[in-house]
């Protein structure tokens, strides 16, 4: 398996624009996590899914953030409208049941 | 509340010396514990885990970790540090009671000097 695949790797957008980050988890994994990493706040759990169902979205900072998992092999994290303070590295990770999670390479988002 | 604490922002060690990166945790039930490493501009890489069994677990790149239930700790260790071990290390706990939620510590930057 190629591991967790995230796209794009880098995204630069203007304030107010919609941003969509994409994730393909490892085949067979039933948990999918979205994290945000910044120098100030470290690694924050935004939302996670089990069998495509959102379990806990309490980490989503605002209503501008939304996430979907339409099927077992694809998830999106959308920010609309984007703001400069959303600039961060966004990671997707997947796991099988309660074992270790495997992380993607991340998407570095810059909102100018 | 469930949490993971890494009390040291940074650990400095000379190459060839043993290293320890500290982690303490707090969960409601039995802990599932993990260590990850992150190199610059990369994602987190899994190093090792404790689920059950021996308190000393061995992982990738010569790292090991010791689970101590009475002290609620899961410290990462390596007998002889390499310069290439310099990176950011994260401790994590999976909360089996709280829907398998994954909590990460704040990270510890390990600097290994030649």
For chain A, the straight-line distance linking the first and the last C-alpha, in angstroms and rounded, comes to: 36
Segment A45-76, tens digit of pLDDT: 999 999 999 999 999 988 999 999 999 999 99
Handedness of CA B46, B47, B50, B54 (dihedral sign): positive
Decide if B49 and A100 are in contact by the 8 Å CB cutoff: yes
Nearest to B26, CA basis, from B108, B109, B105, B90: B105
Q: What's the pLDDT at B24?
A: 96
Contact A100 B34 (CB under 8 A): yes
Closest CA to A94 of A110, A72, A65: A72
The Cα A60–Cα B16 span in angstroms is 43
Using a 10 angstrom Cβ sphere, with 0-12 exposed, 13-18 middle and 19 or more buried, the burial of residue A100 is buried
pLDDT on residue A1: 66
Closest chain A CA to residue B100: A98
Res B2: pLDDT = 63
Could you read off the pLDDT of A3-29 as tens digits, one per residue? 999 999 999 999 999 999 999 999 999
Give A-chain residues touching B34 at CB under 8 angstroms. 100-101
Is the CB of A105 less than 8 angstroms away from the CB of B43? yes
Q: Which residue of A has its CA nearest to B99?
A: A55
Q: Mean pLDDT, chain A, as a whole number?
A: 95
Secondary structure (3-state) at B11: strand
Question: What pLDDT is attached to residue B7?
Answer: 95
pLDDT in tens, A79-100: 999 999 999 999 999 999 888 9
Q: Please tell me the predicted confidence (pLDDT) of residue B100.
A: 75
Q: How many CB atoms lie within 10 A of CB A2?
A: 7
Q: What is the mean pLDDT of each run of 10 residues along chain B (114 residues)?
A: 87 98 89 94 93 92 94 96 97 82 91 96
B77: which strand partners? B20, B64
pLDDT for the residue numbered B31:
85
Inter-chain touch A56–B101, beta carbons under 8 Å: yes
Q: Which residue in the set B32, B43, B51 is minimally distant from A91, CB to CB?
A: B43
């Amino acid at each position: 398996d190629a591991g967790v695949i995230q796209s794009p790797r880098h995204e630069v957008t203007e304030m107010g624009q919609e941003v969509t980050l994409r994730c393909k988890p490892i085949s067979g994994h039933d948990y999918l996590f979205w994290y945000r990493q910044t120098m100030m706040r470290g690694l924050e759990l935004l939302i996670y899914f089990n069998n495509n169902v959102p379990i806990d979205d309490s980490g989503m900072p605002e209503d501008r953030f939304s996430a979907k998992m339409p099927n077992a092999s694809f998830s999106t994290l959308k920010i609309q409208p984007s703001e400069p303070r959303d600039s961060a590295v966004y990671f997707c990770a997947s796991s099988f049941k309660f074992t270790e999670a495997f992380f993607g390479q991340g998407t570095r988002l810059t909102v100018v | 509340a469930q949490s993971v604490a890494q009390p040291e922002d940074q650990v400095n060690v000379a190459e060839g010396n043993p290293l320890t990166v500290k982690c303490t945790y707090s969960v409601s039930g039995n802990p599932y514990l993990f260590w990850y490493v992150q190199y610059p501009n990369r994602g987190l890489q899994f190093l090792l885990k404790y689920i059950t069994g021996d308190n000393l677990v061995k992982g990738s790149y010569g790292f090991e970790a010791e689970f101590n239930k009475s002290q609620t700790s899961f410290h990462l260790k390596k007998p002889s540090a390499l310069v290439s071990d310099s990176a950011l290390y994260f401790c994590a706990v999976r909360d089996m009671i709280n829907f398998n939620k994954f909590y990460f510590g704040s990270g510890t930057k390990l600097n290994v000097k030649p």
